[in-house]
Structure 1
Protein backbone atom coordinates (compact mmCIF):
# COMPACT_ATOMS: atom_id res chain seq x y z
CA UNK A 1 0.00 0.00 0.00
CA UNK A 2 2.82 2.39 0.83
CA UNK A 3 4.29 2.17 -2.67
CA UNK A 4 1.15 1.24 -4.65
CA UNK A 5 3.20 -1.61 -6.13
CA UNK A 6 0.00 -3.61 -6.63
CA UNK A 7 -1.54 -0.99 -8.91
CA UNK A 8 -1.65 -2.01 -12.56
CA UNK A 9 0.25 0.47 -14.72
CA UNK A 10 -0.59 1.11 -18.37
CA UNK A 11 2.32 0.23 -20.71
CA UNK A 12 2.22 3.78 -22.11
CA UNK A 13 0.35 7.01 -21.43
CA UNK A 14 -3.36 6.49 -20.81
CA UNK A 15 -4.70 8.14 -23.96
CA UNK A 16 -2.75 5.79 -26.23
CA UNK A 17 -3.13 2.72 -24.01
CA UNK A 18 -6.80 3.01 -23.03
CA UNK A 19 -8.79 5.83 -24.64
CA UNK A 20 -7.85 5.27 -28.30
CA UNK A 21 -8.34 1.46 -28.32
CA UNK A 22 -11.62 1.78 -26.41
CA UNK A 23 -12.83 4.48 -28.79
CA UNK A 24 -12.01 2.31 -31.82
CA UNK A 25 -13.85 -0.65 -30.28
CA UNK A 26 -16.97 1.38 -29.50
CA UNK A 27 -17.08 3.01 -32.94
CA UNK A 28 -16.76 -0.42 -34.54
CA UNK A 29 -19.76 -1.44 -32.41
CA UNK A 30 -21.81 1.44 -33.91
CA UNK A 31 -21.55 3.69 -30.86
CA UNK A 32 -21.99 7.31 -31.95
CA UNK A 33 -19.91 10.03 -30.27
CA UNK A 34 -21.52 13.48 -30.35
CA UNK A 35 -19.24 16.45 -29.70
CA UNK A 36 -20.01 20.10 -29.07
CA UNK A 37 -23.27 19.34 -27.24
CA UNK A 38 -23.90 20.67 -23.72
CA UNK A 39 -26.56 18.85 -21.69
CA UNK A 40 -28.10 21.45 -19.39
CA UNK A 41 -31.14 19.70 -17.92
CA UNK A 42 -33.49 16.73 -17.82
CA UNK A 43 -37.22 16.50 -18.39
CA UNK A 44 -38.51 14.12 -15.73
CA UNK A 45 -42.00 12.61 -15.58
CA UNK A 46 -43.27 11.32 -12.24
CA UNK A 47 -45.26 8.09 -12.44
CA UNK A 48 -46.67 7.52 -8.97
CA UNK A 49 -43.70 6.73 -6.71
CA UNK A 50 -41.49 6.19 -9.77
CA UNK A 51 -40.09 8.53 -12.41
CA UNK A 52 -38.71 8.46 -15.93
CA UNK A 53 -36.46 10.82 -17.89
CA UNK A 54 -38.38 11.77 -21.02
CA UNK A 55 -36.00 14.25 -22.68
CA UNK A 56 -32.55 15.84 -22.52
CA UNK A 57 -32.25 19.63 -22.61
CA UNK A 58 -29.19 20.46 -24.70
CA UNK A 59 -27.37 23.43 -26.18
CA UNK A 60 -25.73 22.90 -29.55
CA UNK A 61 -24.83 25.10 -32.52
CA UNK A 62 -25.75 28.22 -30.48
CA UNK A 63 -29.32 27.10 -29.90
CA UNK A 64 -31.37 25.12 -27.39
CA UNK A 65 -32.40 21.66 -28.58
CA UNK A 66 -34.55 19.16 -26.68
CA UNK A 67 -33.88 15.49 -27.39
CA UNK A 68 -36.90 13.29 -26.73
CA UNK A 69 -36.22 9.79 -25.40
CA UNK A 70 -37.94 6.64 -26.56
CA UNK A 71 -39.69 4.15 -24.24
CA UNK A 72 -36.68 1.80 -24.28
CA UNK A 73 -33.96 4.44 -23.90
CA UNK A 74 -31.89 4.73 -20.73
CA UNK A 75 -29.83 7.69 -19.49
CA UNK A 76 -26.43 7.21 -17.84
CA UNK A 77 -25.21 10.45 -16.27
CA UNK A 78 -21.77 11.18 -14.82
CA UNK A 79 -21.94 13.55 -11.85
CA UNK A 80 -19.26 16.19 -11.25
CA UNK A 81 -15.65 16.20 -12.39
CA UNK A 82 -12.38 15.85 -10.49
CA UNK A 83 -10.49 17.97 -13.03
CA UNK A 84 -12.98 20.84 -13.05
CA UNK A 85 -11.47 24.31 -12.72
CA UNK A 86 -7.86 23.24 -13.17
CA UNK A 87 -5.33 25.85 -14.26
CA UNK A 88 -1.92 25.37 -15.88
CA UNK A 89 1.32 27.21 -15.28
CA UNK A 90 4.59 26.96 -17.18
CA UNK A 91 8.22 26.31 -16.40
CA UNK A 92 8.56 30.05 -15.72
CA UNK A 93 5.06 30.96 -14.46
CA UNK A 94 2.89 29.58 -11.62
CA UNK A 95 -0.69 28.45 -12.30
CA UNK A 96 -3.39 31.16 -12.31
CA UNK A 97 -4.11 32.57 -8.86
CA UNK A 98 -7.03 30.82 -7.21
CA UNK A 99 -8.78 31.58 -3.91
CA UNK A 100 -8.86 28.49 -1.72
CA UNK A 101 -11.11 29.96 0.97
CA UNK A 102 -14.00 27.59 1.71
CA UNK A 103 -17.46 28.78 0.62
CA UNK A 104 -15.85 31.56 -1.44
CA UNK A 105 -17.96 32.61 -4.46
CA UNK A 106 -16.77 30.74 -7.52
CA UNK A 107 -18.09 29.84 -10.92
CA UNK A 108 -18.95 26.18 -11.50
CA UNK A 109 -18.18 24.56 -14.81
CA UNK A 110 -21.05 22.78 -16.69
CA UNK A 111 -20.43 19.36 -15.12
CA UNK A 112 -20.97 20.75 -11.61
CA UNK A 113 -23.60 23.40 -12.37
CA UNK A 114 -25.69 20.72 -14.12
CA UNK A 115 -25.53 18.44 -11.07
CA UNK A 116 -26.20 21.40 -8.77
CA UNK A 117 -29.40 22.33 -10.64
CA UNK A 118 -30.62 18.73 -10.62
CA UNK A 119 -29.97 18.43 -6.87
CA UNK A 120 -31.84 21.66 -6.11
CA UNK A 121 -34.90 20.28 -7.87
CA UNK A 122 -34.70 16.69 -6.56
CA UNK A 123 -32.22 16.34 -3.65
CA UNK A 124 -33.57 12.91 -2.73
CA UNK A 125 -32.57 11.70 -6.19
CA UNK A 126 -29.34 13.56 -6.92
CA UNK A 127 -27.72 14.07 -3.52
CA UNK A 128 -25.74 17.14 -2.44
CA UNK A 129 -22.93 18.29 -4.77
CA UNK A 130 -22.14 21.25 -2.49
CA UNK A 131 -20.56 18.82 -0.03
CA UNK A 132 -17.83 18.21 -2.61
CA UNK A 133 -17.24 21.51 -4.43
CA UNK A 134 -17.43 24.02 -1.57
CA UNK A 135 -14.23 23.20 0.36
CA UNK A 136 -11.29 23.93 -1.95
CA UNK A 137 -8.89 24.38 0.98
CA UNK A 138 -9.23 20.65 1.59
CA UNK A 139 -9.73 19.36 -1.96
CA UNK A 140 -7.01 21.25 -3.86
CA UNK A 141 -3.88 19.46 -4.99
CA UNK A 142 -1.19 20.58 -7.41
CA UNK A 143 0.23 18.16 -9.96
CA UNK A 144 3.15 18.63 -12.31
CA UNK A 145 4.81 16.88 -15.24
CA UNK A 146 8.54 16.88 -15.84
CA UNK A 147 10.14 16.37 -19.25
CA UNK A 148 13.92 16.22 -19.15
CA UNK A 149 16.94 15.48 -21.29
CA UNK A 150 19.12 14.38 -18.41
CA UNK A 151 19.88 10.68 -18.12
CA UNK A 152 22.08 11.29 -15.06
CA UNK A 153 19.19 12.51 -12.92
CA UNK A 154 16.85 9.79 -14.14
CA UNK A 155 19.46 7.10 -13.44
CA UNK A 156 19.97 8.61 -9.98
CA UNK A 157 16.20 8.54 -9.43
CA UNK A 158 16.02 4.85 -10.39
CA UNK A 159 18.96 3.91 -8.14
CA UNK A 160 17.53 5.99 -5.30
CA UNK A 161 14.23 4.09 -5.47
CA UNK A 162 15.77 0.68 -6.19
CA UNK A 163 13.74 0.07 -9.33
CA UNK A 164 15.16 -2.15 -12.06
CA UNK A 165 12.57 -1.30 -14.72
CA UNK A 166 12.52 2.47 -14.34
CA UNK A 167 8.93 2.39 -13.07
CA UNK A 168 7.96 3.62 -9.58
CA UNK A 169 4.18 3.72 -8.87
CA UNK A 170 4.56 6.03 -5.85
CA UNK A 171 7.40 7.80 -4.08
CA UNK A 172 6.43 10.20 -1.27
CA UNK A 173 8.68 12.73 0.48
CA UNK A 174 7.07 12.78 3.91
CA UNK A 175 9.37 15.53 5.21
CA UNK A 176 8.30 17.94 2.48
CA UNK A 177 5.61 20.37 3.75
CA UNK A 178 3.91 20.07 0.35
CA UNK A 179 3.66 16.27 0.89
CA UNK A 180 5.31 15.82 -2.48
CA UNK A 181 4.91 12.49 -4.33
CA UNK A 182 6.24 11.18 -7.64
CA UNK A 183 5.00 8.59 -10.09
CA UNK A 184 7.61 7.38 -12.56
CA UNK A 185 6.28 5.37 -15.51
CA UNK A 186 8.35 2.92 -17.49
CA UNK A 187 10.12 4.67 -20.36
CA UNK A 188 9.34 5.42 -23.14
CA UNK A 189 5.94 6.60 -21.93
CA UNK A 190 4.72 8.80 -24.79
CA UNK A 191 4.41 7.69 -28.42
CA UNK A 192 7.54 8.57 -30.45
CA UNK A 193 9.36 9.66 -27.29
CA UNK A 194 13.09 10.17 -28.12
CA UNK A 195 15.57 7.89 -26.37
CA UNK A 196 17.27 10.79 -24.60
CA UNK A 197 14.00 12.22 -23.20
CA UNK A 198 12.46 11.09 -19.89
CA UNK A 199 9.09 12.00 -18.41
CA UNK A 200 7.45 11.59 -15.01
CA UNK A 201 4.82 13.34 -12.95
CA UNK A 202 4.10 14.20 -9.36
CA UNK A 203 1.77 16.08 -7.06
CA UNK A 204 1.55 17.91 -3.76
CA UNK A 205 -1.30 17.35 -1.31
CA UNK A 206 -0.71 20.60 0.61
CA UNK A 207 0.00 23.23 -2.07
CA UNK A 208 -0.83 26.12 0.27
CA UNK A 209 2.19 25.30 2.48
CA UNK A 210 5.70 26.72 2.09
CA UNK A 211 8.29 24.35 0.69
CA UNK A 212 11.18 23.04 2.75
CA UNK A 213 13.78 24.63 0.47
CA UNK A 214 11.73 26.87 -1.83
CA UNK A 215 10.22 29.15 0.78
CA UNK A 216 6.86 29.86 -0.83
CA UNK A 217 3.55 28.01 -1.22
CA UNK A 218 3.61 25.39 -3.95
CA UNK A 219 0.62 26.99 -5.70
CA UNK A 220 2.72 30.15 -6.16
CA UNK A 221 5.68 28.28 -7.64
CA UNK A 222 6.79 28.05 -11.24
CA UNK A 223 7.54 24.65 -12.70
CA UNK A 224 11.28 25.25 -12.30
CA UNK A 225 10.82 26.10 -8.60
CA UNK A 226 8.89 22.87 -8.00
CA UNK A 227 11.69 20.85 -9.61
CA UNK A 228 14.19 22.83 -7.51
CA UNK A 229 12.43 21.66 -4.32
CA UNK A 230 12.53 18.07 -5.59
CA UNK A 231 16.24 18.20 -6.45
CA UNK A 232 17.04 19.59 -2.98
CA UNK A 233 14.97 16.84 -1.34
CA UNK A 234 17.05 14.26 -3.23
CA UNK A 235 20.35 16.07 -2.53
CA UNK A 236 21.00 16.26 -6.27
CA UNK A 237 22.79 19.16 -8.03
CA UNK A 238 20.43 21.73 -9.54
CA UNK A 239 22.40 22.01 -12.77
CA UNK A 240 22.41 20.86 -15.46
CA UNK A 241 19.07 19.20 -14.65
CA UNK A 242 17.12 22.47 -14.35
CA UNK A 243 18.35 23.85 -17.66
CA UNK A 244 17.65 20.54 -19.41
CA UNK A 245 14.08 20.14 -18.17
CA UNK A 246 10.59 21.59 -18.50
CA UNK A 247 8.16 21.30 -15.58
CA UNK A 248 4.49 22.17 -16.07
CA UNK A 249 2.41 22.75 -12.88
CA UNK A 250 -1.35 22.22 -12.81
CA UNK A 251 -3.54 23.46 -9.94
CA UNK A 252 -6.63 21.28 -9.43
CA UNK A 253 -9.13 22.67 -6.89
CA UNK A 254 -11.49 19.67 -6.87
CA UNK A 255 -9.20 16.69 -7.43
CA UNK A 256 -9.42 15.58 -3.79
CA UNK A 257 -13.16 16.18 -3.44
CA UNK A 258 -14.17 12.47 -3.38
CA UNK A 259 -12.28 12.14 -0.08
CA UNK A 260 -14.07 14.99 1.71
CA UNK A 261 -16.24 14.24 4.72
CA UNK A 262 -19.89 13.77 3.87
CA UNK A 263 -23.15 12.64 5.37
CA UNK A 264 -25.53 9.93 4.25
CA UNK A 265 -27.35 11.01 1.12
CA UNK A 266 -24.70 13.42 -0.17
CA UNK A 267 -23.68 10.75 -2.65
CA UNK A 268 -26.78 9.55 -4.55
CA UNK A 269 -27.49 5.93 -5.39
CA UNK A 270 -26.30 4.57 -8.74
CA UNK A 271 -29.92 3.84 -9.61
CA UNK A 272 -32.02 6.32 -7.59
CA UNK A 273 -35.13 5.05 -5.84
CA UNK A 274 -38.02 4.92 -8.31
CA UNK A 275 -35.87 5.42 -11.40
CA UNK A 276 -37.09 3.59 -14.50
CA UNK A 277 -34.38 4.68 -16.91
CA UNK A 278 -31.82 6.89 -15.13
CA UNK A 279 -28.47 5.67 -13.82
CA UNK A 280 -25.77 7.80 -12.17
CA UNK A 281 -22.04 7.21 -12.56
CA UNK A 282 -18.65 8.49 -11.50
CA UNK A 283 -16.73 9.24 -8.32
CA UNK A 284 -19.65 10.82 -6.45
CA UNK A 285 -22.20 8.00 -6.33
CA UNK A 286 -22.67 5.56 -3.46
CA UNK A 287 -21.11 2.12 -3.96
CA UNK A 288 -20.98 -0.26 -1.02
CA UNK A 289 -17.48 -1.31 0.13
CA UNK A 290 -15.71 0.19 -2.90
CA UNK A 291 -12.95 2.81 -2.56
CA UNK A 292 -13.35 6.05 -4.49
CA UNK A 293 -10.72 7.82 -6.64
CA UNK A 294 -9.96 4.73 -8.71
CA UNK A 295 -10.79 3.84 -12.29
CA UNK A 296 -12.50 0.75 -10.89
CA UNK A 297 -14.94 2.95 -8.98
CA UNK A 298 -16.13 4.74 -12.12
CA UNK A 299 -16.28 1.50 -14.12
CA UNK A 300 -18.21 -0.31 -11.38
CA UNK A 301 -20.74 2.53 -11.18
CA UNK A 302 -21.34 2.25 -14.94
CA UNK A 303 -21.67 -1.54 -14.70
CA UNK A 304 -24.15 -1.29 -11.82
CA UNK A 305 -26.22 1.29 -13.69
CA UNK A 306 -26.27 -0.55 -17.03
CA UNK A 307 -26.83 -4.03 -15.60
CA UNK A 308 -29.58 -2.81 -13.28
CA UNK A 309 -31.53 -0.72 -15.79
CA UNK A 310 -31.26 -3.32 -18.56
CA UNK A 311 -32.05 -6.23 -16.26
CA UNK A 312 -28.85 -8.08 -17.16
CA UNK A 313 -27.99 -11.11 -15.06
CA UNK A 314 -24.25 -10.47 -15.01
CA UNK A 315 -21.83 -10.85 -12.11
CA UNK A 316 -19.61 -7.90 -11.25
CA UNK A 317 -15.94 -8.48 -10.31
CA UNK A 318 -15.38 -8.82 -6.58
CA UNK A 319 -14.30 -5.81 -4.55
CA UNK A 320 -10.62 -5.88 -3.60
CA UNK A 321 -9.82 -6.25 0.07
CA UNK A 322 -12.31 -8.97 0.95
CA UNK A 323 -9.60 -11.22 2.44
CA UNK A 324 -10.42 -11.52 6.16
CA UNK A 325 -7.52 -13.80 7.14
CA UNK A 326 -5.72 -12.73 10.31
CA UNK A 327 -2.37 -12.31 8.52
CA UNK A 328 -3.88 -10.03 5.87
CA UNK A 329 -5.72 -7.94 8.45
CA UNK A 330 -2.55 -7.68 10.53
CA UNK A 331 -0.53 -6.45 7.55
CA UNK A 332 -3.23 -3.90 6.77
CA UNK A 333 -3.20 -2.64 10.37
CA UNK A 334 0.61 -2.37 10.34
CA UNK A 335 0.48 -0.33 7.13
CA UNK A 336 -2.14 1.99 8.61
CA UNK A 337 -0.08 2.53 11.76
CA UNK A 338 2.99 3.43 9.68
Structure 2
Protein backbone atom coordinates (compact mmCIF):
# COMPACT_ATOMS: atom_id res chain seq x y z
CA UNK A 1 0.00 0.00 0.00
CA UNK A 2 1.06 3.59 -0.41
CA UNK A 3 2.93 2.96 -3.65
CA UNK A 4 2.15 3.90 -7.24
CA UNK A 5 1.45 0.83 -9.36
CA UNK A 6 2.80 0.28 -12.88
CA UNK A 7 0.35 0.96 -15.69
CA UNK A 8 -0.42 -2.76 -16.01
CA UNK A 9 -1.93 -3.01 -12.51
CA UNK A 10 -4.74 -1.13 -10.79
CA UNK A 11 -6.40 -1.15 -7.38
CA UNK A 12 -10.20 -1.32 -7.14
CA UNK A 13 -11.48 1.08 -4.48
CA UNK A 14 -14.93 1.84 -3.08
CA UNK A 15 -16.55 5.28 -2.87
CA UNK A 16 -14.67 6.09 0.33
CA UNK A 17 -11.33 5.22 -1.28
CA UNK A 18 -11.02 1.92 0.63
CA UNK A 19 -9.39 -1.16 -0.84
CA UNK A 20 -12.06 -3.65 -1.98
CA UNK A 21 -9.69 -6.62 -2.10
CA UNK A 22 -9.79 -6.71 -5.93
CA UNK A 23 -7.08 -5.63 -8.38
CA UNK A 24 -7.02 -5.37 -12.17
CA UNK A 25 -4.42 -6.61 -14.64
CA UNK A 26 -4.86 -4.27 -17.63
CA UNK A 27 -1.99 -5.27 -19.92
CA UNK A 28 1.13 -7.47 -19.89
CA UNK A 29 3.11 -7.09 -16.68
CA UNK A 30 6.74 -6.34 -17.45
CA UNK A 31 9.43 -8.50 -15.87
CA UNK A 32 10.60 -5.68 -13.60
CA UNK A 33 7.05 -5.29 -12.24
CA UNK A 34 6.42 -8.95 -11.46
CA UNK A 35 7.41 -8.55 -7.77
CA UNK A 36 4.67 -5.93 -7.46
CA UNK A 37 2.19 -8.28 -9.12
CA UNK A 38 3.08 -11.18 -6.81
CA UNK A 39 2.75 -8.94 -3.74
CA UNK A 40 -0.72 -7.81 -4.83
CA UNK A 41 -1.86 -11.32 -5.75
CA UNK A 42 -1.06 -12.60 -2.26
CA UNK A 43 -3.93 -10.71 -0.67
CA UNK A 44 -6.09 -9.53 -3.59
CA UNK A 45 -8.40 -11.19 -6.07
CA UNK A 46 -7.11 -10.51 -9.57
CA UNK A 47 -9.39 -9.64 -12.50
CA UNK A 48 -8.35 -9.01 -16.11
CA UNK A 49 -9.28 -5.80 -17.93
CA UNK A 50 -8.60 -5.85 -21.68
CA UNK A 51 -7.03 -2.46 -22.39
CA UNK A 52 -4.07 -3.25 -24.62
CA UNK A 53 -4.63 -4.65 -28.11
CA UNK A 54 -5.65 -8.33 -28.15
CA UNK A 55 -4.36 -8.88 -24.59
CA UNK A 56 -4.37 -11.48 -23.03
CA UNK A 57 -3.33 -13.12 -26.31
CA UNK A 58 0.18 -12.76 -27.71
CA UNK A 59 0.42 -10.70 -30.88
CA UNK A 60 3.45 -10.26 -33.13
CA UNK A 61 2.65 -6.60 -33.69
CA UNK A 62 3.63 -5.85 -30.10
CA UNK A 63 7.00 -7.61 -30.18
CA UNK A 64 8.91 -4.30 -30.12
CA UNK A 65 7.02 -3.08 -27.07
CA UNK A 66 6.68 -6.13 -24.79
CA UNK A 67 8.71 -9.20 -23.99
CA UNK A 68 7.48 -12.03 -26.24
CA UNK A 69 8.99 -15.48 -26.66
CA UNK A 70 10.65 -16.28 -29.95
CA UNK A 71 8.09 -18.75 -31.32
CA UNK A 72 4.53 -18.42 -30.07
CA UNK A 73 0.93 -18.99 -30.89
CA UNK A 74 -1.47 -16.32 -29.60
CA UNK A 75 -3.15 -18.60 -27.03
CA UNK A 76 0.17 -19.23 -25.30
CA UNK A 77 -0.32 -15.78 -23.83
CA UNK A 78 -2.86 -17.37 -21.49
CA UNK A 79 -0.08 -19.29 -19.74
CA UNK A 80 1.57 -16.26 -18.19
CA UNK A 81 1.24 -16.12 -14.38
CA UNK A 82 -0.53 -12.76 -14.35
CA UNK A 83 -3.16 -14.21 -16.73
CA UNK A 84 -3.61 -17.46 -14.84
CA UNK A 85 -4.18 -15.44 -11.66
CA UNK A 86 -7.21 -13.63 -13.11
CA UNK A 87 -10.41 -15.30 -11.97
CA UNK A 88 -12.65 -13.20 -14.25
CA UNK A 89 -12.36 -10.87 -17.22
CA UNK A 90 -13.74 -7.48 -18.21
CA UNK A 91 -13.30 -7.42 -21.98
CA UNK A 92 -13.96 -5.40 -25.13
CA UNK A 93 -14.34 -8.14 -27.75
CA UNK A 94 -17.16 -9.11 -30.10
CA UNK A 95 -15.99 -12.75 -29.91
CA UNK A 96 -14.56 -13.19 -26.41
CA UNK A 97 -14.00 -16.93 -26.88
CA UNK A 98 -11.23 -16.09 -29.36
CA UNK A 99 -9.33 -13.92 -26.89
CA UNK A 100 -10.05 -15.00 -23.32
CA UNK A 101 -9.12 -18.11 -21.33
CA UNK A 102 -12.10 -20.45 -21.09
CA UNK A 103 -14.17 -21.15 -18.01
CA UNK A 104 -13.99 -17.77 -16.28
CA UNK A 105 -16.76 -15.18 -15.76
CA UNK A 106 -16.81 -12.34 -18.28
CA UNK A 107 -18.30 -8.87 -18.61
CA UNK A 108 -18.35 -6.65 -21.71
CA UNK A 109 -16.74 -3.67 -19.99
CA UNK A 110 -13.92 -1.34 -21.10
CA UNK A 111 -11.68 1.13 -19.35
CA UNK A 112 -13.24 3.79 -21.59
CA UNK A 113 -16.64 3.07 -20.00
CA UNK A 114 -15.46 5.27 -17.12
CA UNK A 115 -15.75 8.33 -19.40
CA UNK A 116 -16.89 11.27 -17.26
CA UNK A 117 -19.37 12.96 -19.57
CA UNK A 118 -19.90 16.13 -17.55
CA UNK A 119 -16.16 16.63 -17.00
CA UNK A 120 -15.52 16.33 -20.74
CA UNK A 121 -18.26 18.80 -21.60
CA UNK A 122 -16.92 21.28 -19.07
CA UNK A 123 -13.40 20.98 -20.47
CA UNK A 124 -14.33 21.01 -24.16
CA UNK A 125 -17.28 23.41 -24.15
CA UNK A 126 -16.69 25.83 -21.26
CA UNK A 127 -18.81 28.52 -22.93
CA UNK A 128 -21.36 26.25 -24.59
CA UNK A 129 -21.63 24.86 -28.14
CA UNK A 130 -18.99 25.96 -30.65
CA UNK A 131 -18.91 26.43 -34.40
CA UNK A 132 -17.38 23.80 -36.68
CA UNK A 133 -14.07 24.51 -38.42
CA UNK A 134 -13.25 21.02 -39.77
CA UNK A 135 -15.32 18.25 -41.30
CA UNK A 136 -13.16 15.42 -39.93
CA UNK A 137 -10.54 15.10 -37.21
CA UNK A 138 -8.07 12.23 -36.83
CA UNK A 139 -5.44 11.84 -34.11
CA UNK A 140 -2.36 9.61 -33.98
CA UNK A 141 0.82 10.49 -32.13
CA UNK A 142 4.12 9.89 -33.88
CA UNK A 143 5.17 6.66 -32.23
CA UNK A 144 5.31 3.18 -33.81
CA UNK A 145 3.00 1.71 -31.18
CA UNK A 146 0.28 4.28 -31.90
CA UNK A 147 0.84 3.96 -35.66
CA UNK A 148 0.21 0.23 -35.32
CA UNK A 149 -2.80 0.45 -33.00
CA UNK A 150 -4.46 3.30 -34.92
CA UNK A 151 -3.44 1.94 -38.34
CA UNK A 152 -1.70 4.99 -39.74
CA UNK A 153 -1.32 3.32 -43.17
CA UNK A 154 -5.09 2.93 -43.55
CA UNK A 155 -5.61 6.41 -42.16
CA UNK A 156 -3.37 7.92 -44.86
CA UNK A 157 -5.31 6.11 -47.58
CA UNK A 158 -8.61 7.33 -46.10
CA UNK A 159 -7.36 10.91 -45.85
CA UNK A 160 -6.52 10.88 -49.56
CA UNK A 161 -10.08 9.80 -50.36
CA UNK A 162 -11.77 12.21 -47.97
CA UNK A 163 -9.79 15.24 -49.13
CA UNK A 164 -9.54 14.23 -52.80
CA UNK A 165 -13.00 12.79 -53.50
CA UNK A 166 -15.14 14.82 -51.10
CA UNK A 167 -13.01 17.94 -50.73
CA UNK A 168 -13.34 17.82 -46.97
CA UNK A 169 -11.51 19.97 -44.43
CA UNK A 170 -9.55 17.54 -42.26
CA UNK A 171 -7.52 18.18 -39.11
CA UNK A 172 -4.75 15.70 -38.30
CA UNK A 173 -3.46 15.84 -34.73
CA UNK A 174 -0.08 14.43 -33.80
CA UNK A 175 1.61 13.97 -37.18
CA UNK A 176 3.37 17.32 -37.62
CA UNK A 177 6.81 15.69 -37.91
CA UNK A 178 5.75 12.77 -40.10
CA UNK A 179 7.74 12.51 -43.34
CA UNK A 180 4.96 10.38 -44.85
CA UNK A 181 2.12 12.82 -44.21
CA UNK A 182 0.21 13.22 -47.48
CA UNK A 183 0.19 16.67 -49.07
CA UNK A 184 -3.52 17.17 -49.68
CA UNK A 185 -5.82 20.14 -50.25
CA UNK A 186 -7.96 20.77 -47.18
CA UNK A 187 -5.61 18.88 -44.86
CA UNK A 188 -4.44 20.80 -41.81
CA UNK A 189 -1.90 19.51 -39.30
CA UNK A 190 -1.82 20.60 -35.69
CA UNK A 191 1.78 21.32 -34.74
CA UNK A 192 1.45 22.64 -31.18
CA UNK A 193 2.20 19.34 -29.42
CA UNK A 194 1.98 17.99 -26.81
CA UNK A 195 -1.48 19.35 -26.12
CA UNK A 196 -3.16 19.67 -22.73
CA UNK A 197 -6.15 17.34 -22.55
CA UNK A 198 -8.77 20.10 -22.42
CA UNK A 199 -7.21 21.92 -25.39
CA UNK A 200 -7.24 18.72 -27.45
CA UNK A 201 -10.92 18.24 -26.65
CA UNK A 202 -11.66 21.78 -27.78
CA UNK A 203 -10.16 21.01 -31.18
CA UNK A 204 -12.24 17.83 -31.48
CA UNK A 205 -15.39 19.72 -30.52
CA UNK A 206 -14.92 21.96 -33.58
CA UNK A 207 -15.05 19.01 -35.98
CA UNK A 208 -18.19 17.53 -37.48
CA UNK A 209 -16.89 13.93 -37.34
CA UNK A 210 -14.13 11.99 -35.57
CA UNK A 211 -12.49 9.28 -37.69
CA UNK A 212 -11.06 6.19 -35.98
CA UNK A 213 -9.53 3.75 -38.51
CA UNK A 214 -8.02 1.79 -35.62
CA UNK A 215 -7.66 -1.99 -35.65
CA UNK A 216 -5.86 -3.02 -32.46
CA UNK A 217 -7.23 -0.39 -30.09
CA UNK A 218 -8.96 -2.10 -27.17
CA UNK A 219 -10.23 0.91 -25.24
CA UNK A 220 -10.28 4.05 -27.42
CA UNK A 221 -11.05 6.89 -25.03
CA UNK A 222 -11.30 9.32 -27.94
CA UNK A 223 -14.47 7.56 -29.10
CA UNK A 224 -16.77 8.13 -26.08
CA UNK A 225 -15.09 11.51 -25.51
CA UNK A 226 -16.23 12.59 -28.98
CA UNK A 227 -19.75 11.34 -28.30
CA UNK A 228 -19.83 13.26 -25.01
CA UNK A 229 -19.15 16.45 -27.04
CA UNK A 230 -22.01 15.52 -29.42
CA UNK A 231 -19.57 14.75 -32.26
CA UNK A 232 -20.54 11.63 -34.27
CA UNK A 233 -17.92 9.05 -35.20
CA UNK A 234 -16.62 7.19 -38.24
CA UNK A 235 -15.13 3.91 -36.98
CA UNK A 236 -13.25 1.00 -38.57
CA UNK A 237 -15.60 -1.99 -38.49
CA UNK A 238 -12.84 -4.36 -37.38
CA UNK A 239 -11.75 -2.34 -34.34
CA UNK A 240 -11.05 -4.58 -31.33
CA UNK A 241 -12.79 -2.43 -28.73
CA UNK A 242 -15.15 0.53 -28.85
CA UNK A 243 -17.45 -0.98 -31.49
CA UNK A 244 -20.23 -1.08 -28.90
CA UNK A 245 -20.38 2.74 -28.91
CA UNK A 246 -21.28 2.85 -32.62
CA UNK A 247 -25.04 2.81 -33.22
CA UNK A 248 -27.45 4.50 -35.64
CA UNK A 249 -27.56 7.37 -33.13
CA UNK A 250 -23.80 7.88 -32.83
CA UNK A 251 -22.12 7.26 -36.21
CA UNK A 252 -21.14 4.78 -38.90
CA UNK A 253 -18.74 1.92 -39.55
CA UNK A 254 -16.42 1.60 -42.54
CA UNK A 255 -13.98 -1.09 -43.65
CA UNK A 256 -11.15 0.76 -45.40
CA UNK A 257 -10.46 3.47 -47.98
CA UNK A 258 -12.80 1.67 -50.38
CA UNK A 259 -15.95 2.64 -48.49
CA UNK A 260 -14.82 5.50 -46.23
CA UNK A 261 -16.18 8.17 -48.61
CA UNK A 262 -19.69 6.72 -48.57
CA UNK A 263 -19.63 6.24 -44.79
CA UNK A 264 -18.31 9.77 -44.18
CA UNK A 265 -20.99 11.22 -46.44
CA UNK A 266 -23.70 9.40 -44.47
CA UNK A 267 -22.42 10.85 -41.21
CA UNK A 268 -21.96 14.38 -42.57
CA UNK A 269 -25.45 14.47 -44.08
CA UNK A 270 -27.29 12.44 -41.45
CA UNK A 271 -28.89 13.22 -38.12
CA UNK A 272 -27.22 11.81 -35.01
CA UNK A 273 -27.65 12.33 -31.27
CA UNK A 274 -24.39 10.95 -29.82
CA UNK A 275 -24.35 12.90 -26.57
CA UNK A 276 -27.91 11.93 -25.64
CA UNK A 277 -27.23 8.27 -26.48
CA UNK A 278 -24.02 8.18 -24.43
CA UNK A 279 -25.75 9.80 -21.45
CA UNK A 280 -28.51 7.18 -21.54
CA UNK A 281 -26.16 4.22 -21.77
CA UNK A 282 -22.72 5.02 -20.35
CA UNK A 283 -20.85 7.46 -18.12
CA UNK A 284 -18.66 7.16 -15.04
CA UNK A 285 -21.38 6.47 -12.46
CA UNK A 286 -23.03 3.75 -14.54
CA UNK A 287 -19.63 2.12 -15.11
CA UNK A 288 -18.78 2.19 -11.42
CA UNK A 289 -22.13 0.56 -10.56
CA UNK A 290 -21.85 -2.12 -13.29
CA UNK A 291 -18.35 -3.03 -12.20
CA UNK A 292 -19.40 -3.28 -8.55
CA UNK A 293 -22.31 -5.56 -9.51
CA UNK A 294 -20.01 -7.80 -11.55
CA UNK A 295 -17.42 -8.17 -8.79
CA UNK A 296 -20.10 -8.77 -6.18
CA UNK A 297 -21.58 -11.52 -8.35
CA UNK A 298 -18.33 -13.51 -8.53
CA UNK A 299 -18.15 -16.59 -6.29
CA UNK A 300 -17.33 -15.35 -2.83
CA UNK A 301 -17.82 -11.72 -3.82
CA UNK A 302 -20.92 -11.16 -1.72
CA UNK A 303 -18.83 -9.34 0.89
CA UNK A 304 -18.34 -6.39 -1.45
CA UNK A 305 -20.92 -3.92 -0.15
CA UNK A 306 -19.98 -0.88 -2.24
CA UNK A 307 -22.60 0.22 -4.77
CA UNK A 308 -19.90 1.92 -6.87
CA UNK A 309 -16.20 1.15 -7.33
CA UNK A 310 -13.42 2.77 -9.32
CA UNK A 311 -9.87 1.89 -10.34
CA UNK A 312 -6.68 3.73 -9.50
CA UNK A 313 -2.93 3.29 -9.67
CA UNK A 314 -2.23 4.44 -6.13
CA UNK A 315 -3.56 4.19 -2.60
TM-score normalized by the length of structure 1? 0.20
Larger Rg: 1
> Which has more helix, going by share of residues?
2
TM-score normalized by the length of structure 2? 0.21
